[in-house]
Amino acid sequence: MTSEVLASWRNTRRAILAVLALAFALRAGVALIPAMIHPDEIFQYLEQAHRLIFGNGVVSWEYRYNMRGWLFPVMLSGPMWLGHTIAPDTSLYIVLPKLLVAIFSLGVVAAAYALGRRWSPLHAIITMFVAAVWFECVYFGAHTLSETIAVAAVMAATALMAADNASGRRLMLAGWLLGLGVIFRFHYAPAIGIFVILSCALQWRSRWLPLIMGGFIALTIGGLIDLAMGLTPYGWILENFHQNITVDRAAGFGVSGPIAYFTFYTRSWGIWLLPILLCLMPVIKRHRALFWMAMVNLLIHSMIGHKEYRFILLTTTILVILAAIGSVEIMQMIRHRLSVPAARFTPVALLLLWTGASATAASSDYMRPRWTAYGASFHSFQALRAMPGICGIAIYDLEFWQTGGYSYLHKALPLYSVSSEAGEMAPKAATKAYNAILAPSRSQSRLPEAFAKRDCFTLPDQNIGDDYGPAHLCIFIRPGGCDPAAAPEQRLDQVMRRLDI
């Protein structure tokens, strides 16, 4: 009996390692693609880490108003420095921070196993596999967004708290992770609070105390980083609330109605929306704390006018994991009615079904262009970095957030923002300040004749318009040097201050 148990444990361990390896491989593959989900991952996090390590980076309005914490940029700065140190002439400096986030995102995969293990080893492996391959977990897991790292921390904490007899050390670690989740995405605090209340009830000494101690340690670390960066600890949360809620600046980025997130789910999950919701039914009662954390998070974000799908990543992740557990329960009910040979195949069939669902949703018209969004801009900046003789770069008919910033340029060159719109200087009046222009190919006829087309970059899907960055982007070069005094008002940092962006 002992040898059988040992063999079973070894097989389970191999399965766990294999699924973790698959999960990391998928996320690493996405991390290697120059693309972005949202400009925040570049200009709020990677760009600030670049500025911290190398001294140059675009300062967006959020950092001028001190409404962002520095924990995440500081975390990314280590692997960024390491990548540059190891291979300074490559893109390793930008790849390593993404891979770090991909590694952290495996916390969701591990949490899926732990939550499924409360039911059975079969539930655990299948649920873990679903978290490893589900397209949204892979997609977000490879991008440097605060939601990605916050969800990884929160889900890892829920796994640690899953056992009713969890030790004080496990609960303290869970509290630390929950504290990090709040720092990375403070909007998750109400949902996390509901989860803790439902999970701990009145167990003040055995559960609440170690959780609070762990959370206090995390908040202390975040506060010390704020102080090191010259900020009042967590004053950025108040300023963020003031700017986005009181002043309502977030509304300037778009406002949606209260059911917008349901629309997001219908677009993202498509025909799989109803099956996923049905699979939730068998598990809600047993995982009520987790379910209500997802629902409270959805409700809170539905009440805020400005909505983005990434904001409810915590809800999405929880629903997918719970649906995976529920699908195993439904499979178990079905397999009891099948013959023995057919019943043995049902776990494989379920894995294939989830894989197929993920693959079809990932390749849908809604998702397909998102995998390479803004890739043309990033490839352009990487090409400019490698070109000799460049002394100034103008971005023409492009918003600054449509570029890769210094995160991808990785060179101390002045950037200029030039637009054909009224109120901005025409490019002919400032050509001495820069000898390279990055512009959509459609703008070529409006550029000075001295600038000749050098290279062009195209998004894989050329028929998507500018929703995911310009589909056709070109670099134009003129011979000669640069005179920075020719157009100081067109420097990108000056334009951003003037426009308060």
Domain residue ranges of the chain, discontinuous segments joined by +: 40-366, 373-499
| pLDDT band at residue 459 under the 50/70/90 scheme | confident
**pLDDT recorded at residue 425:** 43
Query: What does pTM read for this prediction?
Result: 0.94
Q: Which residues contact 221 (CB under 8 A, 6 or more apart)?
A: 71
Please, which residues bridge with residue 393 across strands? Answer: 415, 436
pLDDT (average), residues 284-299: 97
Reply yes or no on whether the pLDDT at 4 is more than 90: no
Among 17-21, 42-46, 159-163, 282-286, the least confident range = 159-163
Give the amino acid at 244.
Answer: N
Reply yes or no on whether the pLDDT at 446 is more than 90: no
Among 54-58, 60-64, 424-428, the least confident range = 424-428
d(CA 372, CA 457): 12
pLDDT (average), residues 335-362: 90
Reply yes or no on whether the pLDDT at 247 is more than 90: no
The residue count of the chain comes to 501
Tens-place pLDDT, residues 189-233: 999 999 999 999 888 888 999 999 999 999 999 999 999 999 999
**pLDDT recorded at residue 162:** 84
| pLDDT band at residue 343 under the 50/70/90 scheme | confident
* Spatial CA neighbour of 398 closest among 475, 494, 308: 475
d(CA 208, CA 479): 67
**pLDDT recorded at residue 339:** 75
Is the distance from CB of 484 to CB of 420 less than 8 angstroms? no
Give how far Cα 305 sits from Cα of 266, 295, 479, Å: 19, 17, 49
**pLDDT recorded at residue 5:** 45
If DSSP codes are grouped into helix, strand and coil, which group holds residue 436? strand
pLDDT (average), residues 16-38: 96
Mean pLDDT score of the chain = 91
pLDDT (average), residues 6-24: 83
**pLDDT recorded at residue 156:** 97
**pLDDT recorded at residue 344:** 84
**pLDDT recorded at residue 420:** 62
% of the chain beyond a pLDDT of 90: 78
